[in-house]
Amino acid sequence: MKGLFIKDMKLMLGQIAFLIIIPVVGALIVGPTGQLDMGFGYITSVSGILAVTTINYDSYDNGYAFLFALPVSRRGYVKEKYVFALISSAVFVLVVGGFLWLLVTVVHPGNGGRFTEFAEGMWSSYMIVLSVLSLMIPVFLEFGAEKSRYIILIIFGVFMAVMAAVSIGETFSSFLDAGIKGVALLGLNAAFLAGSYAASCSIMENKDF
Amino acid sequence: MLRLENVRKQYKDFELDITMEVKPGYVTGLIGRNGAGKTTAFKAGLGLIRTEGEITLFGKPLEKITPADREKTGVVLSDSGFSGYLKVKDLVVILRNFYHEFDEEYFKGKCKEFDIPFDKQIREFSTGMKRRLQVVAALSHNAKLLIMDEPTAGLDVIARDELLTMLREYMETEGRSVLLSSHISGDLEGICDDIYMIDDGKVVLHEETDTLLDEYCILKVTKEQYETLDKSFILRQRKEEFGFSCLTNEKQFYLENYPDVVMEKGSVDGVMTMMIRGDGR
């Protein structure tokens, strides 16, 4: 797993220009208005995508065949993908989120908000990223980068439509306070991730390369 | 080292059905036309495709092979390689963490010797350079078995010779084995102890290389000579303008009994052409 993790780190750091652009774009989004919520929305969408790009790199040019001829088990590969995605997205949310919070605090002292609000926003962002990853990792492993874009779009469209229809968000918010919501979201995501991991293992173990 | 027994893989328009073995201390060659099933056989042996039948690697069923066992194999694949977005300097760190016995000095030394750049993305490498990198990586961690699908593809004559020399040096250590394929039969003749010829997913011939070169030959006979020829030891025959070409594995018999018949010395190319294009007796 260590070798795979280092490989993914190297692949991610290979996109250094892209990594630098992300907080810059974030600054352009929240800088003028001081609205940190917009920044969190941006971080959430970008970090989910960033965490699964290494899957694209692995599958590019039939790379899986060679990868699984190395000392890498399919289950070990899946495990590493989840660990890497969880850690890298956490670091990403923390670093870019922290940067944007500092920016808003400095540029718009009145809008910066309290640290607890910022921390809650970060936590919510990360929880959404986990849900996104639970969905994206098995889809990317099964269908590859090209087809996955369309599938993810369709799934998210359906998901948003269902959420809007039943107003789950509002109902949920009205009954629970922030602390309980945070823990409940974590539990829900843990269940999603466990199901997603099992699905991903099954996908990879039944694939021919 | 590696054994495939009645291994079958069914695709829409192709079926692999193969039994073969790589013995300890052997360099085993796999030869066949494009699309004959060589790469599929390699992938079956590496567990990259699901198959029927029994595959054992280092005496263990393939499904029980662990990453630690995989460390004992070095692999070159014809249609896959390291991620093109990595650099060789990245690979050094990655391989160090993949293989307990990774010989960093050897790897770096060979990369320098082959002019493989350390600070350039692999996707910018030429085909030959990518191949050399894979070969060097496969040889750099004290593997017991090398599985190499077309390792000489894309290499010039000098680089091919250097690679084959590296393989010979590798085999100087006892207990090591190599399974390799090449479309250049000369490469196989020069290094392999035994050769499997496959066609249409099946083994059409398995022979020790020395036997193939020494005891096989192609008889070039006229129609009249063909009529009187003892065909007991003819494996394949093919109609030609002058009469018939006949493949035999009993060169001595025909040398002694048909001294007037023209004989073409056994070669991997010649035998393969006859085994694939010729008719059975």
Write out pLDDT tens, residues A154-185: 776 776 676 566 555 555 555 556 667 667 77
Domains of chain A, residue spans: 2-205
* pLDDT at residue A204 greater than cutoff 90: yes
Q: SS3 of B78, please?
A: coil
Closest CB from B73, B97, B123 relative to A3: B97
CB spacing of A71 vs B70 below 8 angstroms? yes
Closest CB from B50, B71, B79 relative to A65: B79
pLDDT at site B90: 95
Exposed / middle / buried, residue B245 (Cβ in 10 Å: 0-12, 13-18, 19+): buried
Closest CB from A7, A10, A66 relative to B81: A66
The CA dihedral of B55, B58, B60, B65, to the nearest 10 degrees, is -90
What proportion of chain A, given as a percentage, has pLDDT over 70?
87
* pLDDT at residue A114 greater than cutoff 80: no
- For chain B, give the mean pLDDT: 92
Given pLDDT bands bounded at 50, 70 and 90, which one contains residue A15? confident
> What is the β-pairing status of strands B73-76 and B217-222?
unpaired
Closest CB from A11, A71, A209 relative to B86: A11
Task: Please state the rounded mean pLDDT for residues A71-85.
Answer: 95
Which of the listed ranges A118-132, A135-149, B207-221 does the model predict with the highest average pLDDT?
A: B207-221
3-state secondary structure chain A: CHHHHHHHHHHHHCCHHHHHHHHHHHHHHHCCCCCHHHHHHHHHHHHHHHHHHHHHHHHHHHHHHHHCCCCCCHHHHHHHHHHHHHHHHHHHHHHHHHHHHHHHHHHCCCCCCCHHHHHHHHHHHHHHHHHHHHHHHHHHHHHHHHHHHHHHHHHHHHHHHHHHHHCHHHHHHHHCCHHHHHHHHHHHHHHHHHHHHHHHHHHHHCCCC
Q: Does A76 touch chain B (CB under 8 A)?
A: yes
* pLDDT at residue A123 greater than cutoff 60: yes
Residues 6-65 of B with CB under 8 A from A: 43, 46-50
Look up the pTM and report it: 0.85
CB of A92 within 8 A of CB of A133? no
CB of A190 within 8 A of CB of A126? no
What phi and psi values does residue A75 have, to the nearest 5 degrees?
-65, -40
Task: Please state the rounded mean pLDDT for residues A95-113.
Answer: 80
Instruction: Please report the domains of chain B, with CATH numbers, ordered by start residue.
Output: 2-209 (3.40.50.300), 216-277 (no CATH)
CB spacing of B86 vs A7 below 8 angstroms? yes
Residues of chain A neighbouring B86 (CB-CB closer than 8 A): 7, 10-11, 14
pLDDT at site B140: 96
Q: Give pLDDT < 50 ranges for chain B.
A: none
The CA dihedral of A150, A153, A158, A164, to the nearest 10 degrees, is -170
